[in-house]
Amino acid sequence: MENGELLLRTMPMPADTNSNGDIFGGWLMSQMDLAGGMLAKELMRGRCATVAADAFKFIRPVNVGDVVCCYGLVKHVGTTSLCIGLQVWVRRSHEPSSEYVLVTAADFTYVAIDEQGVKREYAKTDPRLTPERCE
């Protein structure tokens, strides 16, 4: 992902497979939400909640033992929300020296919330929130 930040690196296990033997889409969605949520929490300096996951594309299957890397880049900065474009790239377990391939992409939107779970404005001080750094 051009200019994207590596947010999470992991490996799926046999318990994460569907009846075809491929990795569940839901497992990938959850890893992406974790990855995006960590970045959102850092950028919004506190609690945040996922409000939307859009434009999901499952491009290639993921297999047990693949090295799974999730990259993210801020796409839109709102008043209380933040949209992060996420991409998952994998290196195949049976070809350890192969190139990484793009398997999944989606846009996740997070809202900054206070202790009561009510939306709040957040400071736009992090350089990753400036328009020239966004996608």
Ligand X SMILES: CC(C)(COP(=O)(O)OP(=O)(O)OC[C@H]1O[C@@H](n2cnc3c(N)ncnc32)[C@H](O)[C@@H]1OP(=O)(O)O)[C@@H](O)C(=O)NCCC(=O)NCCS
* Helix, strand or coil, per DSSP, at residue 10: strand
The two tokens of residue 3 are 């200019």
Closest CB to ligand X among 21 and 46? Answer: 46
Q: Which residues pair with 101 in a beta bridge?
A: 90
The two tokens of residue 2 are 């051009």
Which of 3, 18, 79, 98 binds ligand X (CB under 6 A)? It is 79
The yes or no reply on residue 30 touching ligand X (CB under 6 A) is no
Helices (H), the chain: 25-43
Closest CB to ligand X among 77 and 90? Answer: 77
Which of 2, 14, 94, 117 binds ligand X (CB under 6 A)? It is 117
Q: Decide: 83 and 40 in contact? Cβ < 8 Å.
A: no
Which of 50, 114, 123, 130 binds ligand X (CB under 6 A)? It is 50
Q: Which stretch binds ligand X (CB under 6 A): 3-11, 18-26, 34-42, 78-86?
A: 78-86
Residues in the chain: 135
Which of 49, 101, 129, 134 binds ligand X (CB under 6 A)? It is 49
Q: Which stretch binds ligand X (CB under 6 A): 10-18, 67-75, 76-84, 92-100?
A: 76-84
Q: Which residues are CB-neighbours of 90 under 8 A, at least 6 positions away? A: 60, 62, 66, 67, 68, 69, 100, 101, 103
